[in-house]
């Protein structure tokens, strides 16, 4: 097993890899103690039987630059193959503002090919490669050096099996003319906005039990401070303070350090220093927020006039389309989307792109009374009216 520890070694491998139609990629990283992932290892493999066709790259080695790899990522003649690529792509975007293009994600492709929702790598190895995966090194500390032989073997398996999986799925997509389905799904993964978390929007991820604009104004300011502090200090947001403490602070609205000391849920480290000052300032901003600048809660869905019978019929149609296409129902349309369609909404993911081909077009016809559903044995068929 070869480990590349110099920029020159990496450049030579990437230059050779540029002659192949694709390269498989995976990473190992740590994120338990940081806001941004710490890249600890990169695994690469090309479609060859050569002994050095799969290598490990040590980004922690002194002086090693990943620039040759980023150059390969920009080479659009070579497909970059990942499994569940989102976290890997976030690392490369944060590190170098680069996205691998063209991109192929075997998890997305597997869902389109009928392997179920968010299928795991081990499942694909078992079903396609007919092999097992050794999981003993899964929770290892990848930042420690030297790596053991067991760690190296585990890491390389993540890209060597991926070659066969990619070839199998790519052939299946070609046969079923669904390659453009995968391309649509991957478009979001290569958008900077997917990974650039703005502190101003952090409050939208906090679950609350009230939609009071005054309360949400304080939640917004607290979440904004927490996100900015976590980013600037590269610490997990929960190490600043957790969501339950945020909700408590938004409810109690502390005005002084003594008030913070009375909190039941706030971490001890957050009751003093920069975090405490930031909390008090955030609460003050939220409390003093002018009414016209308070968060606007979208209650439009609560006001939907859903036709329950039509909604039920759409669920039956979706089940029928799921069975005929082999694609997981949740990937085609969510339960809330079905209710929205039944209420007359059309600007939805289920009503565009490949989803419209599979489900949306007939859903629209069902709503317009142009088709009906009929049971035949164990299946449901679409009948034109």
Reference 229, options 278, 191, 188; nearest CA is: 278
Query: What CATH number has the domain bearing residue 160?
Result: 3.30.420.10
Residue range 275-298: average pLDDT?
94
285 and 349 in a single domain? The answer is no
Q: CATH no. for residue 365?
A: 1.10.150
- The pLDDT of residue 251: 97
Cα 10 → chain centroid: 28
The model carries a pTM of 0.89
Q: Look at residue 222 in the predicted model and tell me its pLDDT.
A: 98
Is residue 286 very low, low, confident or very high in pLDDT (cuts 50, 70, 90)? very high
Which is it for the CA torsion 258, 263, 268, 271, positive or negative? Answer: negative
**In percent, how much of the chain has pLDDT > 70?**
98
Of the three residues 276, 293, 310, the one that is the final residue of a domain is 293
Domain check: are 205 and 190 in the same one? no
Q: Could you report the per-residue pLDDT of 158-194, keeping only the tens digit for each? A: 999 999 999 999 999 999 999 999 999 999 999 999 9
Residues 162 and 245 in one domain: no
- Neighbouring C-beta atoms of residue 220, cutoff 10 Å: 26
My answer on whether 319 and 204 are in the same domain is no
Range of the domain at 365: 301-384
Give the pLDDT band of residue 139 (cuts 50, 70, 90): confident
The pairing of strands 54-57 and 2-4 is parallel
The reply to whether 277 and 310 lie within a common domain is: no
- What's the average model confidence in pLDDT over 135-140? 79
Sign of CA dihedral 328, 332, 335, 338: negative
Same domain, 80 and 6: yes
Domain boundary among 149, 167, 194: 194
pLDDT at 149 over 80: yes
Total tally of structural domains belonging to the chain: 3
The verdict on 312 and 286 lying in the same domain is: no
Give the residue-averaged pLDDT of 70-92: 97
Residue 384, phi then psi, degrees to nearest 5: -75, 145
What's the pLDDT band for 366 if we cut at 50, 70, 90? Answer: very high
**What pLDDT sits at residue 294?**
95
Residues 187 and 206 in one domain: no
Residue at which a domain ends, from 144, 165, 194: 194
Mean pLDDT of 65-73: 98
Instruction: Please tell me whether residues 271 and 324 are part of one structural domain.
Output: no
- pLDDT for the residue numbered 5: 98
Same domain as 13, residue 73: yes
181 and 46 belong to one structural domain: yes
> Residue 137 above 80 pLDDT?
no
pLDDT above 80: residue 357: yes
CATH code of the domain covering residue 255: 1.10.150.80
Question: Look-up: residue for tokens 């938004």?
Answer: 250
pLDDT higher than threshold 60 for residue 350 = yes
Which pLDDT belongs to residue 83?
Answer: 97
In a shared domain, residues 182 and 206: no
């Amino acid at each position: 097993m070869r480990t590349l520890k110099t920029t020159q070694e990496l450049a030579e491998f990437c230059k050779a890899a540029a002659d192949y139609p694709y390269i498989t990629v995976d990473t190992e990283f740590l994120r338990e103690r940081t806001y941004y992932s710490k890249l600890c290892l990169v695994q690469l493999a090309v479609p060859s039987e050569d002994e050095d066709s799969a290598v490990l790259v040590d980004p922690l080695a002194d002086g090693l630059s990943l620039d040759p790899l980023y150059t390969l990522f920009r080479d659009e003649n070579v497909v970059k193959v990942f499994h569940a690529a989102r976290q890997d792509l976030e690392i490369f975007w944060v590190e170098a503002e680069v996205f691998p293009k063209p991109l192929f994600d075997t998890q997305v492709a597997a869902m389109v090919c009928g392997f179920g929702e968010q299928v795991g790598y081990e499942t694909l190895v078992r079903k396609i490669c007919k092999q097992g995966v050794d999981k003993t090194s899964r929770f290892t500390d990848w930042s420690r050096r030297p790596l053991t032989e067991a760690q190296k073997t585990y890491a390389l398996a993540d890209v060597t099996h991926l070659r066969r999986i990619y070839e199998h799925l790519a052939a299946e997509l070609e046969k079923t003319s669904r390659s453009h389905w995968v391309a649509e799904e991957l478009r979001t993964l290569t958008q900077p906005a997917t990974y650039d978390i703005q502190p101003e929007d952090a409050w939208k991820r906090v679950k609350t039990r009230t939609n009071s604009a005054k309360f949400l104004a304080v939640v917004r300011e607290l979440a904004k401070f927490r996100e900015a502090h976590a980013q600037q200090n590269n610490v997990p947001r929960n190490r600043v303070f957790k969501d339950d403490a945020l909700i408590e602070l938004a409810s109690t609205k502390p005005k002084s350090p003594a008030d913070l000391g009375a909190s039941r849920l706030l971490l001890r480290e957050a009751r003093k220093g920069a975090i405490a000052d930031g909390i008090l300032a955030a609460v003050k901003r939220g409390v003093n927020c002018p009414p016209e600048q308070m968060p606007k809660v979208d209650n439009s869905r609560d006001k939907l006039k859903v036709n329950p019978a039509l909604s039920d019929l759409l669920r039956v149609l979706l089940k029928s389309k799921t069975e005929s296409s082999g694609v997981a129902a949740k990937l085609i349309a969510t339960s809330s989307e079905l209710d929205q369609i039944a209420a007359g909404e059309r600007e939805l993911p289920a009503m565009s792109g490949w989803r419209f081909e599979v489900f949306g077009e007939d859903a629209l016809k069902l709503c317009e009374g142009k088709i009906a559903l009929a049971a035949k044995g164990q299946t449901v068929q679409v009948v034109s009216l």
